[in-house]
Amino acid sequence: MFWDPDYETIDRSELERIQLERLQQTVRRVATRVPFYKQKLAEAGVTPDDIRSLNDLRRLPFTTNADLRDNYPNGLLAVDLDNVVRLHTSSGTTGKPKAIFFSAGDINRAADLIARCFIMTGVRKGDVFQNMMTYGLFTGALVMHYGAEKVGCLVIPAGPGNSERQLLLMRDFRTTVIHLTPSYALYFAGFLGKNGVDPKRDLALRRAFVGAEPHTEETRRKIQESLGIEVYNSYGLSEMNGPGVAFECIHKTGMHLWEDHYLMEIVDPQTGEPLPEGATGELVLTTLTREAMPLLRYRTRDVTSVIPGKCPCGRTHRRINRITGRTDDMLIVRGVNIYPQQIERVLMSMPSLGHNYLITLSGLDEMTVKVELAETAFDGSVEHLVQLQNQIVEKLRAEILVKPKVELVQSGTLPVSEGKAKRVVDQRVL
Ligand code: ADP
Ligand code: ZN
């Protein structure tokens, strides 16, 4: 089933024709309306008329995170302010926020892409959608909300946290689909277990959409098994409307990226040079249909690759792999490059371990991994715990090539954040 079959299964050559047309319009638009781009294009020696094929994309300048902050609040706006109907911001962790503006058309197109995603995973009018993401300046909840309404779901704008209330809503309104961060999904599964709720027996849940933070296949499996539902990976970022940029179909073999709205490139994060299809690198996106705030070649810093070949679902939009992290997520510990996802993969594959963990870097280069035990794991014997601890240390060492300290803690004792999980605390004296 498709929301928009003509576009979702469009012929690649027709798709490329549309992409070029939209790219040309976008470049023309920013060259005339956004002084920042006018200057950038002049510096790169490119005019809108120079964009004659999709290959000319690489002549365009990149846009970075820093450009968005430097042009805060409205330096990148391409419409008059009275044509803007919504403002979101993307926080990041430090410094000024990034302001993201939406015209009425942008809101509508973003909702339409979400509708594609919902229908693609089997959600229909009549489904009950409990949105457990943070409402507010963050795009994650509202953009999904609008898309879900478009599909005709009954939307419950629950927001995150307060697991008792989530459960009450789920029971009373027979929620079938939830949307939440993977870290909250893990926590929530633990919460149900502790309260003697068997989701398969007591709830009507069928699907979960998880996104907003990197997570591994092992985490997905853990959520699926503990909640007894299908879990789909959902990718997006505020700069590109928020969620609905790329999403898994029922085959769960990578996320279809909606290429009639976003032009993708995978580049070498160091040199910015485009990489061959299939290679892993930084995802760079150009908006093709954004009105209020189009962006050219935006450096997402998200690391992924394009999956070659066709998807059995019939959609012609290419798929990207699970995001393994951001280019700036990499930790260097004792000279070794480590991605937090490597640690997560090990922890989530061990049944005796629970749902939450925290990596702390301290002193000169000490790594401590605190991890919660599964509810059922503790038989009270210290020997058992020491054995488990050693086993984790060994598995981690084999994966990351550094020997961390491992501390086992009781289930439910590590901090849970309402928004995105904070998995790494770096307190090193450098
Ligand atoms: P910020 O986190 O900077 O405030 P956003 O709220 O717009 O910005 O979050 C977008 C970022 O969240 C993406 O660039 C990516 O790093 C991360 N993200 C979103 N969805 C996923 C996903 N499914 N898998 C991994 N990372 C994701
Ligand atoms: Zn597919």
Which residue ranges form the domains of the chain, and what is each CATH number?
A: 1-328 (3.40.50.12780), 331-426 (3.30.300.30)
- The pLDDT of residue 355: 87
- The pLDDT of residue 174: 98
- The pLDDT of residue 416: 87
Beta partners for residue 353, in sequence order: 373
| H or E segment and range at residue 319 | strand 319-320
Distance of CA 55 to CAs 50, 195, 280, Å? 11, 57, 20
Atom 6 of ligand 1, nearest CA residue: 90
Q: Tell me the torsion sign for CA atoms 160, 162, 164, 165.
A: negative
Amino acid at 396: L
Distance of CA 161 to CAs 134, 183, 374, Å? 9, 11, 21
Tell me which of 96, 135, 142, 235 to substitute to probe ligand 1's pocket, judged by most ligand atoms within 8 Å of the beta carbon: 235
Amino acid at 198: D
Measured CA to CA, the distance from residue 27 to residue 343 in angstroms comes to: 42
Length, in residues, of the chain? 430
Tell me which of 117, 323, 341 to substitute to probe ligand 1's pocket, judged by most ligand atoms within 8 Å of the beta carbon: 323
Measured CA to CA, the distance from residue 87 to residue 397 in angstroms comes to: 45
Which ligand minimizes its atom distance to the CA of 422?
1
Ligand 1 centroid to residue 90 C-alpha, Å: 10
Q: Which of 108, 148, 109 minimizes the C-alpha distance to 132?
A: 148
Which residues have their alpha-adjacent CB atom under 5 A from ion ligand 2?
A: 249, 311, 313, 315
Ligand 1 centroid to residue 213 C-alpha, Å: 5
Q: Which of 245, 290, 402 minimizes the C-alpha distance to 339?
A: 402
Ligand 2 centroid to residue 9 C-alpha, Å: 10
Measured CA to CA, the distance from residue 97 to residue 139 in angstroms comes to: 13
Distance of CA 75 to CAs 69, 81, 331, 368, Å? 9, 11, 33, 43
Q: How many CB atoms lie within 10 A of CB 344?
A: 21
- The pLDDT of residue 317: 98
CB contact at 8 A, 211 and 225: no
DSSP H helical ranges for 209-308: 217-227
Ligand 2 centroid to residue 310 C-alpha, Å: 8
Atom 13 of ligand 1, nearest CA residue: 237
Mean pLDDT of each 10-residue bin along the chain, 430 residues long? 97 98 98 98 98 98 96 96 96 76 98 98 98 95 98 98 97 98 95 96 98 96 97 98 98 98 97 96 98 98 97 98 91 91 94 93 94 78 91 96 95 86 87
Backbone angles phi, psi at 197, to 5 degrees: -95, 125
- The pLDDT of residue 329: 86
Ligand 2 centroid to residue 18 C-alpha, Å: 21
